[in-house]
Amino acid sequence: LFAAVEMAPRDPILGLNEQFNADPNPAKVNLGVGVYFDANGKLPLLRCVAQAEAAMQADPKARGYLPIDGIAAYDKAVQGLVFGADSAVLQAKRVATVQAIGGTGGLKIGADFLKRLNPDAQVLISDPSWENHRALFSNAGFQVGSYPYYDAAKLGINFDGMLASLNTATAGTVIVLHACCHNPTGYDLSPAQWEQVVATVKARQLVPFLDMAYQGFGEGIAEDGAVIQQFLAAGLDFFVSTSFSKSFSLYGERVGALSVVCASAEEAGRVLSQLKIVIRTNYSNPPTHGAQVVALVLGTPALRQLWEEELAGMRLRIRAMRSALVEALKTAGVDQDLSFVTRQKGMFSYSGLNAAQMQRLRSEFGVYGVDSGRICVAALNEQNLPQVAQAMAAVMRG
Ligand code: PMP
């Protein structure tokens, strides 16, 4: 039966992890991962999460099946976070939101729904993008192309190229956009650039799909969500996937959502019914624990305040590490302008290093990043920073 099955290619980042684990260098540093570590290099358990779980354990409940679209209080909390609790679009009940298995699950539900809705549509992702975007939309049956995004020579965004690409896309093309904290580059559009993207998407009748996996990691919860308000203000229908993997440090609980902004409450009702079919025929209904934790934290004022403080703590620590990296590189003798590192947002930095330099970082210094030049700034700390900076400076000097 399986004689003709071919070996699938390995996930490149997981391959990097295996290489890291096998490296005997005691001073090795893993900056390849997409995970936030605290100042001690540990994956944090947020206090708001621990307190919510303690409250849940004090009043244990049986685990029945959830509704297909998940915990109602959770979906409502997601909507408040993404669109603003008092927003007109929520008051008009124009948004269909479903709980999903992580941000990945939200993207997948959206992709499957779009395939039923508009089977011949093209999908465009940023070049480069989170690698799973391409695989996920391809596996849903779409042709996936890309729009220019990163400009290596400029160490920034090729915004003209991006706009030109959107301007030639045919009506109905699905445009996957990173709402904030672009993975892998760390470069985000400015509000003025977003305004141009919104206008182009509207004029060309494109279908925006915003992937928001890092809300709160860039500038703040509302600030990172401001792009959603720009799409709302233009009167567009659009998709938003949400992930709480990073913002709650709940990676393994798989907590996410998909929201679809529709023209009317009646339309949102029909869209919701179709999203439920997608879920029902894939995994029937979502799991309880993680979404219950998030719903409890977001719905309890004291816990929510604690979460906002802890999220701000993660955000500020990443920013401090960006500045510290730039300073340490300067001290180590790198004289090129590195201000781009502190302009970037979120967990990642496109360091500007090429594949050969990234390989030298690994083999000579035990510093593991992705060959594209991506390093996870959220894995830097006071202990590993001097070594990382020395290693980077050495390969930058050539
Ligand atoms: N989108 C982007 C841009 C991401 O970086 C990630 C996580 N690496 C996801 C979606 C998926 O998030 P989750 O782990 O919640 O499925």
Report CA-CA distances (Å) from 76 to 31, 79, 98, 374.
35, 5, 9, 35
232-269 pLDDT, tens per residue?
999 999 999 999 999 999 999 999 999 999 999 999 99
DSSP classification of residue 158? -
Return d(Cα 83, Cα 100) in angstroms, integer: 17
Chain-centre distance for alpha carbon 21? 25
Other Cβ atoms closer than 10 A to 76:
16
Compute, in angstroms, the gap from residue 104 CA to the centroid of ligand 1.
6
341-393 pLDDT, tens per residue?
999 999 999 999 999 999 999 999 999 999 999 999 999 999 999 999 999 99
Which residues in the chain are classed under CATH 3.90.1150.10? 12-45+304-397
pLDDT of residue 13: 78
30-56 pLDDT, tens per residue?
999 899 999 999 999 999 999 999 999
Q: What is the ipTM of this complex?
A: 0.99
Nearest CA to ligand 1 atom 2: 213
pLDDT of residue 12: 76
pLDDT of residue 9: 85
pLDDT of residue 14: 79
Return d(Cα 311, Cα 115) in angstroms, integer: 35
Q: What's the CATH number for 12-45+304-397?
A: 3.90.1150.10
* 66-299 to CATH, choices 3.40.50.150, 3.40.640.10, 3.40.50.720, 1.25.40.20: 3.40.640.10
pLDDT of residue 108: 98
What confidence category does residue 15 fall into, taking pLDDT thresholds of 50, 70 and 90?
A: confident
Please state the pTM of the whole predicted model: 0.97
Angle between helices 221-233 and 72-83 (to 10 degrees): 80
Nearest CA to ligand 1 atom 12: 103
Residues serving a catalytic function are 130, 211, 246
* C-beta 104 within 6 A of ligand 1: yes
Return d(Cα 222, Cα 215) in angstroms, integer: 8
pLDDT of residue 284: 98
Which residues in the chain are classed under CATH 3.40.640.10? 66-299
Report, as an integer, the average pLDDT of 104-128.
98
Answer whether residue 119 shows pLDDT above 90. yes
